């Protein structure tokens, strides 16, 4: 079946630095990638939707200059958290959308900013 | 906008059946999903149902859909301690092109 590989699984970074999270679709082409954020004991909050080769569409309240999304190919999408601060600490999950396989989720990245 | 509601907690004894309920508001919802999330992990797709179906069974899992009432349920037969997790209901008008709308999740606790 469809698999999305998300890396890293966890990362600890210093405040003010940037962190890149990668999501790769391994055996299919992800025409659409969704990025979510999940706070402890809460549901998934959609951050943005990206289609290959075009700019991401951000949800209201999500800073596009802080959460940079790149979807340069049909198999790779990246989320970069720029100038990270402790309040950016969270669980980030990507989901590849495809009309054949539906939604395939990555395993998530736990970001801790110290 | 679309909204998906779930009860937050459910506690059952091992061996009993669990029923997790979900309601949604978007009448154009075509695809309805159930995901399982264990602590610190990503989401695992359990099952899904199309809006033109009333029921779907997959081993211990049974999904019932009442489209008129916009009510979805997930029944887990012979619940085991390994079933303890958070279960998310999610819906989308089509598959893969639009983002899923998630409920807040139901935390299932299985008592041995």
Give one DSSP letter per residue of A75-97, joined into a string: TEEEEEE-S--GGG-EEEEEEEE
For A41-50, how does the pLDDT look when each residue is reduced to its tens digit (9 = 90+)?
Answer: 889 999 999 9
Interface-testing mutation among B46, B47, B99, B106, with chain A (most A C-beta atoms within 10 A): B99
Report whether pLDDT(A56) > 70: yes
Confidence of residue A27 (pLDDT cuts 50, 70, 90): confident
Q: Closest partner residue to B96 among A42, A102, A107, by Cβ?
A: A102
Residue A77 binned pLDDT confidence (cut-offs 50, 70, 90): very high
| pLDDT number for residue B29 | 74
Which residue numbers in chain B have pLDDT < 50?
none
Chain A interface, best mutation among B100, B101, B104, B105, by max A CB count within 10 A: B100
d(C-alpha B8, C-alpha B12), whole Å:
14
User: CA distances (Å), A16 to each of A13, A61, A66, A82, A111, in order?
Assistant: 9, 21, 11, 8, 13
Average pLDDT across chain A, whole number:
93
Q: Does A77 touch chain B (CB under 8 A)?
A: no
Which pLDDT belongs to residue B95?
74
């Amino acid at each position: 079946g469809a698999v999305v590989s998300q890396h890293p699984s966890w990362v600890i970074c210093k405040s003010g630095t940037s962190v890149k999270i990668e999501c790769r679709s391994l055996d299919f082409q992800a025409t659409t990638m969704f990025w979510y954020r999940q706070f402890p004991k809460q549901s998934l909050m959609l951050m943005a939707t990206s289609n290959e080769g075009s700019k991401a569409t951000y949800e209201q309240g999500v800073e596009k200059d802080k959460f940079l999304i790149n979807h340069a190919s049909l198999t790779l999408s990246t989320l970069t958290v720029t100038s990270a601060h402790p309040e950016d600490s969270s669980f980030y999950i990507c989901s590849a959308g495809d009309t054949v396989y539906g939604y395939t989720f990555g395993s998530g990245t736990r970001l801790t900013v110290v | 906008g679309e909204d998906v509601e779930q009860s937050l907690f459910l506690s059952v004894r091992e061996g009993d059946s669990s029923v997790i309920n979900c309601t949604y508001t978007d009448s154009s919802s075509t695809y309805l999903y159930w995901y399982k999330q264990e602590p610190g992990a990503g989401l695992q797709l359990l099952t899904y149902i199309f809006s033109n179906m009333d029921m779907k069974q997959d081993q211990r899992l049974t999904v019932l859909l009442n489209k008129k009432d916009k009510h979805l349920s997930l029944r887990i037969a012979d619940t085991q301690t390994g079933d303890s997790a958070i279960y998310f209901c999610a819906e989308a008008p089509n598959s893969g092109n639009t983002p899923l709308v998630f409920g807040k999740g139901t935390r299932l606790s299985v008592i041995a």
